Amino acid sequence: MANAANPSQLLPLELVDKCIGSKIHIIMKSEKEIVGTLLGFDDFVNMVLEDVTEYESTSEGRRISKLDQILLNGNNITMLVPGGEGPEM
């Protein structure tokens, strides 16, 4: 249980597992950022989120969408920010 003594030695999927039930900010490969509550994930980091806010940069500005639930393909995720509140306006 050396990992429990030193949180900086967590493996990546262990950190994601600790985020289940809490807010997470996800930056996608496209021009999208997503904030929601993490419900679950698999070994490929495909994720299920609820209470989702999607931020998309368009030529007209930023578009914001609200979704009840979403399934994200892990191949399209660039970065995960545990506890993140989303992009600055």
35, 29, 31: which is closest to 50 by C-alpha?
Answer: 35
11 vs 21: which has the higher pLDDT: 21
> Topology of domain 20-82, per CATH?
SH3 type barrels. (2.30.30)
Q: How confident is the model at residue 86 (pLDDT cuts 50, 70, 90)?
A: confident
54, 56, 49: which is closest to 24 by C-alpha?
Answer: 49
The string of DSSP letters for 4-30 reads HH-GGG--HHHHHHHTTTSEEEEEESS
pTM of the model: 0.83
pLDDT higher than threshold 80 for residue 88:
no
Q: What is the pLDDT of residues 32-68, one digit of tens each?
A: 999 999 999 999 999 999 999 999 988 888 999 999 9
Angle (nearest 5°) at CA 32 between 82 and 25: 10
Mean pLDDT of 76-81: 94
Number of H helices, E strands in the chain: 2, 5
Mean pLDDT of the chain: 89
